[in-house]
Structure 1
Amino acid sequence: MRVVVGMLAAAMLAGCAGHVAESGAAPAAKPVSVQIIAFNDFHGNLEAGKLAVDIPGEGETSQRIAAGGVAYIAAAVAKLREGHPNSLTVSAGDMISASPLISSMFLDEPTIHAMNLIGVDFNAVGNHEFDRGQKELRRLQTGGCEKNTARQPCAIEPFPGASFRYLAANVATDGGGTLFPSTGIRSFGAGKRQVRIGFIGMTLKGTGTLVMPSGVEGLRFEDEADTVNALVPRLKAQGADAIIVLIHQGGYSKLAFDANSCAGMTGDILPILTRLDPRVDLVVSGHTHNAYVCDYGSIDASRPLLLTSAGYGGTLLTDISLDIDPVEGRVVAKRANNVLVQGEAFTSAKGLVGTSDRYARIAPDPRLTALVARYAAAVKTYADRPIGRLTAPAPRTDEQMREQVLGNLLADVQLAATAAPEKGGAEIAFMNAGSARASLVPRADGAITFGDIYAAQPYSNTLVVKSLTGKQVLAVLEQQFDENKAGGRNLLLVSRGFGFGYDLGRPVGQRVIDPKLNGAPMVADRTYRVVVSNFLANGGDGFTTLTAGTELLTGIGDLDAIEAYFARGPVTPPAIDRTRDLTLRN
């Protein structure tokens, strides 16, 4: 327990230096301290021992420490709140979807149950909140058992909806409003020592290209900075002494999660920050699954805000403190630190180290433990069912511009499912990297279960075969390397028999080199049958050329395709030899 107390004290004292008021006069009243506990990109990771965080060691060594699990998150939040009467808990989006089977099989209802028990106050919508469409997202807010998807809601227990508030400031509707409220305000203290904090929550403006178009029909995703800047004066007029932005967009840092530095920061969040109203005090970010605490005032003194992110899956929590002068109505100091969520009795899983004495351990919250056990028992029959064998691991990568074994395998699966003339006559399969979510790792006997393939491809898309000319196929390939398209650069994973080279040193639209199908060059005016997910078929990830295909044939679901592929016999993962980066050679 001494270790716990010491770590939590450090969490409050360490971090970015506070920006003290420039005036030399002492404040008329003692500042009010408000704690914000933040996380992002939880993605329904309810169970402990499934995720890990890299812990730097001596020199260049590091450890992979098991972390997360909602029962431990709840306990960590409770421990962090001790001694802080003014405390809120917030999320910067992607709380749900792209989730493990224990949550996604039940439409992420158990995740919402868990967040209600933890006491979350606000969640900004992220792109994955829209994966099942806006109608289903509204159900998660309001509750009830209306069936909006192929799965049955309320399968285990009644669903009350989220007790926290979704925020969607930049998600405009045709009716002139927003899908959910743009802002929220919380007050602390009383009389002359009362302070008010205004929250703005939003997703990235590119969300419409990252989800099924049908799920966001009638919605517009507005510019992030413009949205914030229009709302800050409104919140100030409502008496907000501090402004916090919860945004599902983020950056990248190569430093340790607790480095508390802006050094080397990159990413799409930075151009947004350069345009923000200087009255913003804190930006809680997400989307990139990176962890950082950045004192942005060290980059731009005119915008002395804190920028934070807690990585992925609930493995970290960001403990933030704002000291607010109640008389002058402004923040006079701010601090933040990322805290590892480490259980007291993690067992080693998937090669992870159990625990580290460098970080505090906590006992799980019994209410959340019971919740997880209830849904784990319910999903076990689905998850443990064997579907086939794999001769070696099929790993994935988070890098959007790198060929990967898993993506190649899934492209092969989709081609095999639709190659027969009566199934569509597909010749080429394109698989987007973002839909490959978890490496396939066989057990000692080579077995792969339904739970494994669901984790690898959790969106339950259907396969669509289209006719495209060789010219259109080439245009699709060129869109991979157009950094200006919605979704930016992202390499497609392609099926066996198809390949191409690329040179990023060439102009946009001229980067693809020598595409071939079964050894023969592509012919511009020949028609090819191409299979993709319904997500890509509708222009997802910015591949708008795919919407132009003709002679559509909708096939089976992607999970059914994987099961059929493995039913043929043991599967050997494909090689990485289908795309060639020729940039440095030319």
Structure 2
Amino acid sequence: MPLSGQKPPARRGLRRAALVTFAAAGLVGGLVAPNMSSATSAPKPRVEDLQLLAINDFHGNLEPPAGSSGTIKEVDPKTGQVVSTPAGGIEYLATALRQAREGQRNSVTVAAGDIVGASPLLSGLFHDEPTIEAMNKLGLDVTSVGNHEFDEGSKELLRMQRGGCHPTDGCYVDGRTFEGADFKYLAANVTSEKTGKPILAPYWIKNVRGVKVGFIGVTLEGTPNIVTAEGVKGLKFGNEVTTINKYAAELKSRGVNSIVALIHEGGYPASSTYNYDCGAAGQGISGPIVDIAKKIDPAVGAIVTGHTHNAYACSIPDPAGNPRSVTSAASFGRLYTEIDLKLDKTTGTIIRPSVTAANHVVRQNVPKAPDMTALIAYYNKLAAPIANRPLGFIGADINGRGSTDFEKPLGDVIADAQLAGLAAKDKGGAQIAFMNPGGIRSDLVYKASGAEGDGVVTYAEAFTVQPFTNMMQVKTLTGAQIIALLQQQVSGLNAAAPKILQSSAGLTYTLDLTKTDAARIVVPSIKLNGTPIDPAASYRVAANEFLAGGGDGFPAFAAGTDKLVGASDLDLFAAYLGANSKAGAPLVVPAQNRITVVGPGSDQD
């Protein structure tokens, strides 16, 4: 039977740690001073307040995320030092949002994509139905799609919206048909190749006590570069700015003059602390969202973003040079953003000087929401026989997502697992294996997550690290193509934000960060088992189907020949843990000696 979805009243308990105010006037002490040049006799506008509560990149993290994925960086007010604070979990997020809504006359809860996809086992095992149910209970009103909403293809995304049991696995909850999302998914820039029309609604209009507020939702134009070809089959992804401006004009023609953009694309703030405000003119943030925000119609009064998993509450100038709110709430439900707007009831517009925004930590020292606790318990009971199965042992944390190094310890382990599983001649004869860093979704944490004991790696924990269950492929690449592949890590689509592949043992090279673009790969240093790569020779190279198809900006993979399809990446990872660790002889943390980095280091998202 369906779990109860009550929304208990809560006190207004979490206050903002930082406040950023956006306006078209000058900045004074970090706040925007109102323009006092107009005549004092001018009538004050009739105003309606609107609270927006925003999240992004939840990725099905119903339970508090493990390892570094479950913390937020903030400044300790007592010491002034940056500390990592435990955060996240739907039980705490629900409480925080319910507290934030208390006493508000008008409140809308929004998201900027990737609510599902790349999810831990508790949600992923059930094709993310638990997360959709949780978001319904949470009171989410509207979200843009993100790239991960397409992990299982557009038909599955439509099922998330409209409901219905999974076409292969059927229904999960006591024979009940999955009812789908109560909230609206928006996909303004995702169109069908056949019809040319958006596959889901481009915008949603909320009537706030007589003032119409429009929400336009888009995902990043480059979604096809970071999703499997099957996931985006039959779809086109339009430019974010062109799309938003098109629908902003359409909304205005319908009398909707208050507009908010929900964009699954983001930026990189100069500080990793959650309440970083980027400066009065947005000088402390870089990345795609900066250029996008500067071109979006000034009629859009606030921009909610995601994708980069960063936290910021910034001001970025619009095309007229006026500051505009641009925010992101990190990821995994560790933060939420509170954006307060004032709506002019006469003109129906957002009063831009009134907009304030701040991120709040979803702290774990508040009461758990009982309905979310019940939902988690229900699905944990269903998942337990699979989730709790032990696979292997580790003697210490092996960081993947939590590592800021180009060569990540868990990346080494995963690449080695793929090579081990595909090296046999009848399995593909792989000599090298590569893993994309973005596909490593968590860390392997030594501390027990349940009753399994410290150091035990369960199937659920392995699934959280490798949730896509991509099928592996082995292809023949020439040495020249391998060199090109390594160069594509730091050039082409990856020039601005390098994606350093995780490579299996035996492949070594030097990454020189004092150089630019492809020259950062020192070609003479590229060796396999101590022997320089021969551009004219052929090598068997393993990668998951996403990478092997040229995803993440690696077209050299797609040029490979003699493809052989192997087991899934998760199966190989599980087999490797079982074969290479046991109680008393755990898997050790790799030495990270495959990539020699010259010059300053740099964080990777």
Taking structure 1 as the reference length, the TM-score comes to 0.89
Distance across 1 between alignment mates of 2:336 and 2:454: 38
Residue number among 172, 177, 194 corresponding to 1:154 in the alignment:
172
Question: Partner of 1:252 in structure 2?
Answer: 268
Question: Partner of 2:31 in structure 1?
Answer: none
Distance across 2 between alignment mates of 1:23 and 1:226: 35
Q: CA deviation at 1:72?
A: 2.2
Distance across 1 between alignment mates of 2:65 and 2:144: 27
Residue number among 173, 176, 180 corresponding to 2:200 in the alignment:
180
1:295 has 2:315 as partner: yes
Question: Partner of 2:71 in structure 1?
Answer: 52
Residue number among 453, 459, 464 corresponding to 2:468 in the alignment:
459
1:229 has 2:245 as partner: yes
1:479 has 2:497 as partner: no
- Cα offsets for 1:523-544 (capped at 9, x unmatched): 1121100000011111110111
Question: Partner of 1:308 in structure 2?
Answer: 327
Question: Partner of 1:369 in structure 2?
Answer: 373
1:127-146 residue pairs with structure 2 within 5 A? 127-146=147-166
Distance across 2 between alignment mates of 1:432 and 1:155: 35
Which amino acid is the alignment partner of residue 30 of structure 1?
A: R
Q: CA deviation at 1:87?
A: 1.5
1:335 has 2:356 as partner: yes
1:15 has 2:20 as partner: yes
Distance across 1 between alignment mates of 2:234 and 2:404: 29
Distance across 2 between alignment mates of 1:579 and 1:261: 33
Specify the SS of the correspondent of 2:350.
strand
Distance across 2 between alignment mates of 1:32 and 1:343: 33
1:211 has 2:215 as partner: no
Contact in 1 for aligned 2:437/2:501 (Cα 8 Å): yes
Contact in 1 for aligned 2:123/2:129 (Cα 8 Å): yes
Specify the SS of the correspondent of 1:72.
helix
Runs of 5+ in structure 2 lacking a partner?
Answer: 1-9, 25-33, 448-452, 582-586
Q: CA deviation at 1:211?
A: 0.8
Specify the SS of the correspondent of 2:339.
strand
1:378-397 residue pairs with structure 2 within 5 A? 378-397=382-401
- Cα offsets for 1:80-124 (capped at 9, x unmatched): 222222211110011011212111111110000011111211110
- Cα offsets for 1:374-393 (capped at 9, x unmatched): 11222222221111122333
Question: Partner of 1:520 in structure 2?
Answer: 531
Specify the SS of the correspondent of 2:117.
coil
1:560 has 2:587 as partner: no
Question: Partner of 1:104 in structure 2?
Answer: 124
Q: CA deviation at 1:219?
A: 1.3
Distance across 1 between alignment mates of 2:150 and 2:495: 17
Distance across 2 between alignment mates of 1:519 and 1:256: 42
Q: CA deviation at 1:59?
A: 4.1
Specify the SS of the correspondent of 1:324.
strand
Which amino acid is the alignment partner of residue 46 of structure 2?
A: K
Q: Which has the higher mean CA deviation after the structures are superposed, 516-525 or 574-583?
A: 574-583
Distance across 1 between alignment mates of 2:321 and 2:300: 11
Q: CA deviation at 1:567?
A: 2.4
Specify the SS of the correspondent of 1:274.
helix
Contact in 2 for aligned 1:16/1:260 (Cα 8 Å): no
Contact in 2 for aligned 1:481/1:504 (Cα 8 Å): no
Question: Partner of 1:405 in structure 2?
Answer: 409
Distance across 2 between alignment mates of 1:441 and 1:256: 23
Contact in 2 for aligned 1:209/1:487 (Cα 8 Å): no
Specify the SS of the correspondent of 1:47.
coil
Which amino acid is the alignment partner of residue 525 of structure 1?
A: A
Contact in 1 for aligned 2:22/2:323 (Cα 8 Å): no
Residue number among 434, 442, 455 corresponding to 1:438 in the alignment:
442
- Cα offsets for 1:34-70 (capped at 9, x unmatched): 1111111111111247522223113442443322221
Contact in 2 for aligned 1:258/1:293 (Cα 8 Å): yes
Contact in 2 for aligned 1:411/1:494 (Cα 8 Å): yes
Question: Partner of 1:497 in structure 2?
Answer: 506
Specify the SS of the correspondent of 2:355.
strand
Distance across 2 between alignment mates of 1:199 and 1:336: 17
Contact in 2 for aligned 1:124/1:166 (Cα 8 Å): yes
In structure 2, relative to structure 1, the CA distance for the partners of 1:538 and 1:486 (3 Å cut) is: farther
Q: CA deviation at 1:309?
A: 1.0
Distance across 1 between alignment mates of 2:60 and 2:141: 17
In structure 2, relative to structure 1, the CA distance for the partners of 1:275 and 1:122 (3 Å cut) is: same
Q: Percent of pairs identical after alignment?
A: 39
1:416 has 2:432 as partner: no
- Cα offsets for 1:450-501 (capped at 9, x unmatched): 1121111111111100011111111111111115459952001110111111
Which amino acid is the alignment partner of residue 241 of structure 2?
A: A
Q: CA deviation at 1:568?
A: 1.9
Distance across 1 between alignment mates of 2:287 and 2:226: 17
Distance across 1 between alignment mates of 2:308 and 2:559: 31
Distance across 2 between alignment mates of 1:453 and 1:539: 25
Distance across 1 between alignment mates of 2:128 and 2:173: 11
Q: Which has the higher mean CA deviation after the structures are superposed, 558-567 or 505-514?
A: 505-514
Specify the SS of the correspondent of 1:379.
helix
Q: Which has the higher mean CA deviation after the structures are superposed, 541-550 or 250-259?
A: 250-259
Q: Which has the higher mean CA deviation after the structures are superposed, 99-108 or 248-257?
A: 248-257
1:36 has 2:46 as partner: no
CA RMSD of aligned residues (A): 2.5
Question: Partner of 1:355 in structure 2?
Answer: none
Q: Which has the higher mean CA deviation after the structures are superposed, 429-438 or 440-449?
A: 440-449
Q: CA deviation at 1:583?
A: 4.9
Which amino acid is the alignment partner of residue 462 of structure 1?
A: M
Q: CA deviation at 1:241?
A: 2.4
Distance across 2 between alignment mates of 1:324 and 1:558: 50
Which amino acid is the alignment partner of residue 308 of structure 1?
A: T
Residue number among 290, 312, 326 corresponding to 1:270 in the alignment:
290
Contact in 1 for aligned 2:51/2:108 (Cα 8 Å): yes
Question: Partner of 1:86 in structure 2?
Answer: 106
Which amino acid is the alignment partner of residue 361 of structure 2?
A: L
Aligned length: 557
Distance across 2 between alignment mates of 1:268 and 1:218: 26
Contact in 2 for aligned 1:400/1:490 (Cα 8 Å): no
Contact in 1 for aligned 2:492/2:553 (Cα 8 Å): no
Distance across 2 between alignment mates of 1:518 and 1:172: 47
Residue number among 166, 169, 172 corresponding to 2:185 in the alignment:
166
Which amino acid is the alignment partner of residue 337 of structure 2?
A: T
Contact in 1 for aligned 2:393/2:455 (Cα 8 Å): yes
Q: CA deviation at 1:258?
A: 2.8
In structure 2, relative to structure 1, the CA distance for the partners of 1:198 and 1:577 (3 Å cut) is: same
Which amino acid is the alignment partner of residue 529 of structure 1?
A: R
Q: CA deviation at 1:430?
A: 0.8
Contact in 2 for aligned 1:430/1:532 (Cα 8 Å): yes
Runs of 5+ in structure 1 lacking a partner?
Answer: 345-360
Taking structure 2 as the reference length, the TM-score comes to 0.87
